[in-house]
């Protein structure tokens, strides 16, 4: 607490043992949220079935406001999947998403949404062998040699 002026936000301190310095870290609120996210993920990981929010806030220790906010952040970051309607008789249910890959790269967009994926036999740049079901379809394959080239080999 300060004696005058607006109170500054509480922060954490980080010890850099190599440089032998102490630096300002993230805010205390952010540090609490990150820690609570880890605790919630540890709780949800072994769960076989999805768990409702009341069970999570009742079993996981900590302040309820921090737990609720951390749970929402986990859903937003796709580390936790939320199902249900969030109403009486149909509560939100939470489960671990199954993977913890950081989302530092955006999901690639579909550059050709109308056509979707093309089969290997339709693309000139694939270089893969033709599929067996299309080998007997006329017009799908080019001859390996032209008639003039075949005469050179005396076939």
- What are the phi and psi torsion angles at 94 (to 5°)? -120, 140
pLDDT band of residue 5 (cuts 50, 70, 90) is: confident
Q: Which residue has the higher pLDDT, 152 or 19?
A: 19
Task: Specify the CATH class of 11-96 in words.
Answer: mainly alpha
CA distances (Å), 149 to each of 44, 49, 138, 146, 152, in order? 68, 67, 21, 5, 5
Helix axes 28-44, 64-76, angle to 10 degrees: 70
Per-residue pLDDT reduced to its tens digit, 55-71: 999 999 999 999 999 99
Handedness of CA 55, 59, 64, 69 (dihedral sign): negative
Per-residue pLDDT reduced to its tens digit, 24-56: 889 999 999 999 999 999 999 999 899 999 999
pLDDT at 129 over 60: no
Residue ranges per domain, the chain?
11-96
30's CB contacts (< 8 A; 6+ apart) are none
pLDDT, residue 36, reads 96
User: Under a CB-based contact definition with an 8 Å cutoff, are residues 57 and 68 in contact?
Assistant: yes
């Amino acid at each position: 607490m300060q004696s005058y002026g607006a109170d500054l936000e509480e922060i954490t301190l980080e010890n850099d043992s190599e440089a032998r310095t102490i630096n300002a870290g993230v805010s205390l609120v952010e540090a609490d949220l990150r820690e609570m996210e880890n605790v919630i993920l540890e709780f949800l990981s072994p769960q076989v079935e999805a768990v409702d929010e009341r069970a999570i806030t009742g079993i996981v220790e900590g302040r309820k406001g921090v737990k609720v906010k951390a749970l929402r952040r986990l859903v937003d970051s796709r580390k936790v999947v939320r199902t249900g309607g969030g109403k009486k008789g149909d509560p939100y249910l939470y489960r671990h998403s199954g993977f913890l890959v950081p989302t530092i790269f955006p999901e690639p967009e579909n550059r050709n949404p109308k056509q979707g994926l093309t089969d290997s036999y339709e693309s000139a740049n694939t270089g893969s062998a033709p599929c067996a079901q299309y080998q007997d379809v006329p017009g799908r394959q080019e001859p390996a040699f032209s008639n003039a080239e075949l005469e050179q080999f005396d076939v």
